[in-house]
């Protein structure tokens, strides 16, 4: 045991409440969570809601619901308590909109030490400036117009309450270095950094000031976030230095890409965790999938429980290159998890999907052989929302399919009809006690051999007659679930279709 106190690991997930949890943000939250848990540290949820123009009702609740569903428990910050949002921890408030005074205090401090200044430039001046810079193909940035106003001028403008912002006085031409957990050592020069706004004209802080102040005051040791924030990091480092605060560790995660390597976006598919939940992905499958977007343990293992991820995750082994969001892989993973869960849990998860698809049935009614139907499907589907189509044959009274579908390969309508008749005759005489999967299979296989048929010549039309589909669970199982009456009726209908 070390004699010295180890620095506490504290990570945070700091979403802006946009109304939904993006799967990319789920990965950011997951990596922050895994690292904190592995190091016996704390995982904190802070809400970055300083952009009042983007406020969405119920957004924080949705976020928490999605995190809870995914199994990521927040240790500190905004938490869910009895279905409502609450706060936990000594460093609150954890919503930035409730911390405005704190940001003002540090902005004032920076003004006092000459590391920030008031800027009174009007939006139209800034617009003209931007326009001019664009025309001569210069980077668009503030030109420092208010950097050197005299104290008198400033006081005069403040007295008359002129609209203003507070900007950071970025030091001129300094080289700084920092080490990113993924990209390694990075160097930047302050001449490339704009005098960023710290406090906006409405008195709210910008993201830069608020996140630096909060990460410091909340004792965050590792800032794990998406690569899109990498360009903000030099600005943040300057703020840490200006405030004489220690610089935390930064880890910028690679982008998530569509299979065509474009940035994962709403246009190409679903991006909200809620969308995946609605389609019937299990939280453990989505978490497993997302964990491997940008990290892998270096072995062949692909399936990990959350506990295993906590154990094996390695923050030092995150890839630099973008990670492809491959839905086929997610489907495969989900099917693996669906196969493994207990039938009782499968039934609980399946019921709402079935109820929605077949509202005319009551799925809590014991008369539906739900356990048998689900036992057939549990190993076949890769998403719960496929259950509706997969089980239609059972719930729909009439099947619609083209008669040709009944005909096996090179067989003919007449031969298929004849085989269906043979089958019907055999099953009509089958005593109710023999209506089990094993006995049905035995009898039908005998029938095939006795009549010199191939399996396909009899089992194919049987499958289509009973399910209306080319792909279905084995026909014996289907016949067993349908029972003698419905089975025989469907075989008769199929024969008739072929005669038409
Ligand atoms: N509020 C930012 C977001 O919406 C957080 C960026 C960060 O983690 O610093 O993603």
How many angstroms does the Cα of residue 322 sit away from the middle of ligand 1? Answer: 19
Residue 392 and residue 407: Cα distance in Å, rounded? 21
CA–centroid distance, residue 178 to ligand 1 (Å): 19
- Sign of the alpha-carbon torsion through 26, 31, 34, 40: negative
Q: Structure pTM?
A: 0.92
pLDDT of residue 481: 93
Catalytic residue among 263, 266, 320, 356: 266
Distance in Å, CA 303 to ligand 1 centroid: 29
Three-class SS state of 13: strand
Pairing of strands 165-168, 116-119: antiparallel
The CATH architecture to which 403-499 belongs is: Orthogonal Bundle (1.10)
Q: DSSP string spanning 435-447? A: -SHHHHHHHHHHH
266 catalytic residue (yes or no): yes
Token pair listed for 8: 């506490």
Low-confidence stretches of the chain (pLDDT beneath 50): 1
DSSP string, 164-180: -EEEE-PPSS-EEEEEE
What is the model's pLDDT at position 5? 59
Structure tokens at 15: 């979403």
| Nearest-angstrom CA–CA distance, 398 and 493 | 10
Residues 270, 66: Cα–Cα separation, whole Å:
15
Report domain extents, the chain: 341-394, 403-499
Which atom number of ligand 1 is nearest to the Cα of residue 14?
Answer: 5
**169 torsion bin: left (phi>0), alpha (psi -120 to 50), beta (else):** beta
User: Sign of the CA dihedral 295, 310, 17, 233?
Assistant: negative
pLDDT in the model for residue 265: 75
Residue of 99, 180, 207 to mutate, ligand 1, most atoms within 8 A of C-beta: 207
CA of 427 to the centre of ligand 1 (A): 66
Query: Please, where are the H alpha helices in 269-383?
Result: 273-278, 283-291, 306-312, 327-340, 343-357, 370-377
CA dist 471 to 308, 464, 465, 478, Å?
A: 36, 8, 12, 12
CA gap 456, 463 in Å, rounded: 10
Q: What percent of the chain has pLDDT over 90?
A: 89
Phi, psi values for residue 129, rounded to 5°: -60, -45
The per-residue DSSP string of 75-127 comes to: SEEEEEETTEEEEESTT---BGGG-HHHHHHHHHHHHHTTSEEEE---HHHHH
Residue to mutate, 11, 12, 13, 15, ligand 1, most ligand atoms under 8 Å from C-beta = 15
Q: Is 252 in contact with 180 (CB distance < 8 Å)? A: yes
């Amino acid at each position: 045991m070390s004699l010295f106190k180890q620095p506490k690991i504290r990570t945070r997930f700091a979403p802006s409440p946009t109304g939904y949890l993006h799967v990319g943000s789920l990965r950011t939250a997951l990596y922050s969570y895994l690292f904190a848990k592995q190091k016996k540290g704390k995982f904190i949820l802070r809400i970055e809601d300083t952009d009042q123009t983007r406020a969405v009702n119920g957004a924080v609740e949705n976020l928490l619901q999605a995190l809870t569903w995914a199994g990521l428990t927040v240790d500190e910050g905004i938490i869910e308590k009895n279905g409502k949002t609450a706060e936990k921890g000594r460093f609150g408030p954890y919503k930035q909109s409730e911390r405005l005074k704190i940001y003002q205090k540090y902005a004032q401090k920076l003004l006092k030490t000459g590391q920030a200044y008031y800027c009174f430039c009007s939006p139209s001046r800034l617009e003209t400036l931007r326009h001019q810079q664009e025309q001569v193909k210069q980077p668009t940035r503030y030109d420092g117009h208010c950097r050197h106003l005299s104290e008198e001028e400033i006081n005069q403008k403040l007295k008359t309450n002129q609209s203003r912002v507070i900007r950071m006085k970025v030091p001129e031409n300094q080289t700084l270095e920092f080490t990113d957990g993924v990209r390694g050592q990075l160097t930047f020069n302050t001449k490339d950094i704009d005098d960023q706004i710290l406090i906006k004209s409405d008195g709210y802080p910008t993201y830069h000031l608020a996140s630096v102040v909060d990460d410091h005051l909340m004792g965050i040791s590792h800032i794990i976030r998406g690569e899109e924030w990498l360009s903000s990091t030099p600005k943040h480092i300057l703020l840490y230095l200006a405030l004489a605060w220690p610089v935390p560790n930064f880890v910028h995660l690679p982008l998530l890409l569509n299979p065509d390597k474009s940035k994962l976006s709403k246009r190409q598919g679903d991006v909200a965790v809620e969308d995946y939940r609605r389609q019937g992905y299990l939280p453990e499958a989505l978490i497993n999938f997302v964990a491997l977007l940008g990290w892998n343990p270096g072995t062949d293992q692909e399936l990990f429980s959350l506990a295993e991820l906590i154990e094996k995750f390695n923050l030092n082994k995150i890839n630099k290159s973008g990670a492809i969001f491959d839905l086929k892989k997610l489907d495969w993973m989900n099917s693996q998890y669906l196969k493994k869960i207990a039938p009782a849990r499968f039934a609980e998860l399946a019921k709402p999907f079935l109820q929605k698809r077949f509202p005319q049935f009551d799925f809590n009614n014991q008369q539906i052989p739900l356990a048998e139907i689900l036992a057939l499907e549990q190993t076949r589907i890769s998403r719960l929302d496929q259950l509706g189509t997969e089980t239609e044959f059972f719930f729909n009274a009439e099947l619609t399919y083209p008669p040709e579908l009944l005909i096996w390969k090179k067989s003919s309508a007449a031969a298929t009809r004849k085989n269906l008749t043979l089958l019907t005759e055999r099953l009509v005489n089958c005593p109710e006690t023999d209506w089990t999967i094993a006995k049905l299979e035995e009898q039908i296989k005998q029938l095939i051999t006795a009549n010199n048929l191939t399996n396909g010549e009899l089992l194919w039309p049987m499958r289509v007659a009973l399910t209306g589909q080319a792909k279905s669970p084995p026909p014996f199982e289907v016949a067993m679930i349908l029972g003698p009456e419905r089975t025989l009726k469907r075989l008769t209908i199929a024969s008739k279709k072929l005669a038409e």
